[in-house]
Amino acid sequence: MADNFENIKKIISPSGLKIESNHVKIGDKFAKTFFVYSYPRYLSTGWFEPLINLPHLFDVSVFITPLDTGSTLKKLRKKAAQVESQIMDQQEKGMVRDPQLETAFSDVENLRDVLQQSEEKMFSVGVYITIYADNLEELSKLESKMTTLLEAKLVYIKPSLFTQLEGFQTILPLGEDRLKVTTPMNSGPVSSFFPFVSEDLTSDQGIMYGINRHNNNLVIFDRFSLENANQVVFAKSGGGKSYASKLDIIRSLMMGTDIIVIDPENEYERLAEGFGGSFFNISLTSHEHVNPFDIPIIPEGENPADVLRSHIVNLAGLMKLMLGKLSPAEDAILDRAITETYASREIVPGEDFTGKPAPLLEDLETILRNLEGGKDMAERLYKYTKGSFAGLINQPTNIDINNRLIVFSIRDLEEELRPIGMYVTLNFIWNLIRAKLKRRILVIDEAWIMMKNEDSASFMFGLVKRARKYFLGVTTITQDVEDFLRSPYGRPIVTNASIQLLLKQAPATIDIVGKAFSLTEAEKNLLLSAEVGTGLFFAGKKHVAIQIIPSYFEDKIITTNPAELLEKKSP
């Protein structure tokens, strides 16, 4: 047994310990210990919470030792007499009163009262903090951040100079205070140290997202109450991201919110059928068509010329996605060709083009063929007008969008056409959103498809950034976290989302996710070991561990579990 104990000590012990005057080096890590030596007159509840929630590696030890009430009362009585004597001496000398002495006397007397009546007790309190970093520069930055945070609360700390080893031993879970830098406190201030503060995301308005795993409260939140209503959902395949988003859709519909979905795998078809929504299949052989050249409905109060120019810019982005990389000269020719295509139908900025028929892609091809330098681009467009991809976007729009739940499916599109299909659909949706101000949510599933190309990624980022102005919340869902975050537009989309839902993550991507969301080691471990439907929910500055809970009937409508679907089909 003794041999086993010795082996365990060897396993958990660091390879070496180097002691300096103001830090220690433990293996490859640098550590520095501090003690709290000064507090404000009042310690408010939860003042310790900002320190506990810092996304850095550190340890905190709080030593609380009860003091004898009788001896404490004797000391307080002596202290009260000293302070009162000082006050009387100043009065006799005709000096101006000292508010500090009067406040001190009042505090001592109040403390004597509560101790005498056994309403509170006295304690000796020592608080020690050890921070860790990979190098001295990071250690210094973390020290500065922590010092600034505490000084804002009027709490002051000092490093344990020349006693860093004793400080590190104090932090270890041995229950030994080797530094013994303590402060006497009564029960009230001591209670404010309680560090296990769990966030609460229960409000009077909004929808239920799940159960708070910290305290079993309901997570009820209104995404439109934040600075923007955008949301990102990251999870590995099978982690429950689409499931959680479908619950969000059902519950948002009940609150009067209109929903639009871009569905890459027909996962939302049963949901649309169950709630009487519209389901449009965007593919080469589909009967539903979206013409990207449709003239946007002019929103009330906006200049028609500005709306048309903005639409032409978006259309140019689509053409670049279809044509591939263009030279500056070709870019200029394309912009001119699009403008002339609209002009051929008497649609020009500055004139009334209400009711004019929209051109088609084949009209742009014709214009390009007749422009010097445009023939090569026209040849490249041929496959989309009369070639193998002709059935996709060279048709007039024929879909009815008068519904509160609209789903656009792109599952049957070839892999090469998916980014184009998503772009066309998003542009159509964006024009729809701008036309009338309504409370809406746009769900973009498998958003990493759009991030593959710079023009489509830029368009999606612009949509996310401008959504708030049009009372729109964009939900971005992806399983390919690495590709999404490595795009120059991926991280800005994340930072422009007030709500973030992180479900089960793969070991290969956890470091990328951890860095993007400033996760602690405990939070990263939670996401690695999370069961389906559990994870982390961020709403503004608050975040909780969440468990997604459906009702029986919700589950029957939204499940995509193959075994359950087969069971339903069987007689």
Q: What is residue 33's predicted lDDT score, i.e. its pLDDT?
A: 95
Query: Mean pLDDT, to the nearest integer, of 441-470?
Result: 86
Cα gap 565→556, rounded to integer Å: 9
The residue range of the domain holding 319 is 307-396
54 and 112 fall within a common domain: no
74 and 141 assigned to the same domain: no
Domain match, 192 and 311 both: no
Domain-terminating residue out of 141, 172, 197? 197
Tell me, yes or no, whether 82 and 42 share the same domain: no
pLDDT of residue 564: 61
DSSP secondary structure, 142-158, as one string: HHHHHHHHHHTTT-EEE
Domain boundary among 162, 197, 232: 197
Tell me what percent of the residues of the chain surpass a pLDDT of 90. Answer: 26
pLDDT at 58 over 90: no
- Statement to judge: residues 26 and 170 lie in one domain: yes
Give the pLDDT score at 174.
87
Total number of domains constituting the chain: 3
At which of 396, 416, 436 does a domain end? 396
Q: How confident is the model at residue 423 (pLDDT cuts 50, 70, 90)?
A: confident
pLDDT at 191: 81
> H or E element: which one contains 77?
helix 69-92
Q: Could you tell me if residue 332 is inside a domain?
A: yes
Q: 185 with 201: CB under 8 angstroms?
A: no
Asked if the structure places residue 164 within a domain, the reply is yes
Residue 315 lies inside a defined structural domain of this protein: yes
| Residues 38 and 172 reside in one and the same domain | yes
Burial profile 4-29: b = 16 or more Cβ within 10 angstroms, e = fewer = eeeeeeeeeeeeeeeeeeebbebeee
Who wins on pLDDT, 115 or 569?
115
343 and 366 together in one domain = yes
User: 232-255 burial string, b = 16+ CB within 10 Å, else e?
Assistant: bbbbbeebbbbbbbbbbbbbbbee
The answer to whether residues 57 and 136 belong to one domain is yes
- What's the pLDDT band for 34 if we cut at 50, 70, 90? very high
| pLDDT of 3 strictly over 60 | yes
Which stretch of 89-93, 207-211, 400-404 has the lowest confidence by average pLDDT? 89-93
Same domain for 110 and 58, yes or no, is no
**Statement to judge: residues 326 and 378 lie in one domain:** yes
- CATH code where residue 332 lies: 1.10.8.730
* Closest CA relative to residue 184, chosen from 76, 52, 84, 82: 76
pLDDT confidence bin for 373, thresholds 50/70/90 = confident
Nearest alpha carbon to residue 316 among 335, 298, 332, 333: 335
Is a pLDDT exceeding 60 seen at residue 37?
Answer: yes
**Which of 60-74, 78-92, 131-145, 535-549 shows the lowest mean pLDDT across its residues?**
78-92
Same domain (yes/no): 77, 191: no
In a domain, 378, yes or no: yes
Q: What is the pLDDT of residues 177-190, one digit of tens each?
A: 999 999 888 888 88
Over the Cα atoms of the chain, what is R_g? Answer: 32
Residue 139 lies in a domain: yes
What pLDDT sits at residue 443? 93
Please answer whether residues 290 and 428 qualify as being in contact, where contact means their C-beta atoms are separated by less than 8 angstroms. yes
What sign does the CA torsion over 301, 306, 309, 315 have? negative
Q: Is residue 416 part of a domain?
A: no
Over residues 363-379, mean pLDDT: 91
Predicted confidence (pLDDT) at residue 462 exceeds the cutoff of 70: yes
Average pLDDT over residues 390-404: 86
Asked if the model's pLDDT at residue 257 lies above 90, the reply is: yes
In 3D, which of 29, 49, 45 has the Cα closest to residue 130?
29
Token output for 198: 């769990």
Higher pLDDT among residues 545 and 520, named by residue:
545
The pLDDT of residue 237 is 82
Is 167 part of any domain? yes
Domain-embedded: residue 140: yes
pLDDT of residue 87: 79
- The pair of structure tokens assigned to 390 is 């002709």
- Residues 171 and 311 grouped into a single domain: no
